[in-house]
Amino acid sequence: MLMRIHMDCNGCYRKVRRAILDMRELETHLIEKKECRVSVCGRFIPQDVAIKIRKKTNRRVEILEIQELMDNSNTATNDQENLQDQAPHTPLIRSWDNVISYPNQVETFCIESHH
């Protein structure tokens, strides 16, 4: 969902950011401060999220665009089958709890260095 929220100063930006981070139903967000646009993704009712942001920030929230994500539970299994069909000779590597990775994938992680 794409919203327009007027953020005149860093304080407004911090209010909006804090309001978004406090909402558990939002998985990812992108705040474009100069354009006064906020993009959020997740499983939620768009009007409810806009109302929550309005109440927490006391800023006007305008919904510009809503993209609904279809239930692709069958698509995910089809994609996995297609990957297996494309590379039948590469075995799956199972690690952690039912996490499947392929040999050509690279797993990355961050290491904090303490100086």
Let me know if 3 is exposed, middle or buried by CB neighbors in 10 A (0-12, 13-18, 19+). Answer: buried
Which residue from 70, 65, 35 is spatially nearest to 50, judged by alpha carbons? 65
pLDDT at 34: 93
Residue 110's pLDDT is what? 41
CATH architecture classification, 2-65: 2-Layer Sandwich (3.30)
Whole-number pLDDT of residue 30 = 95
Residue 23: both structure tokens together: 């909402």
Query: What pLDDT score does 26 carry?
Result: 92
- pLDDT on residue 68: 81
So what's the pLDDT on residue 2? 95
Residues (pLDDT < 50) of the chain are 75, 87, 89-115
Question: Where are the domains positioned within the chain?
Answer: 2-65
| pLDDT for position 93 | 41
pLDDT for 10 = 94
Tell me: the pLDDT tens digits for 35-55?
999 999 999 999 999 999 999
Distance CA 24, CA 113 (A): 29
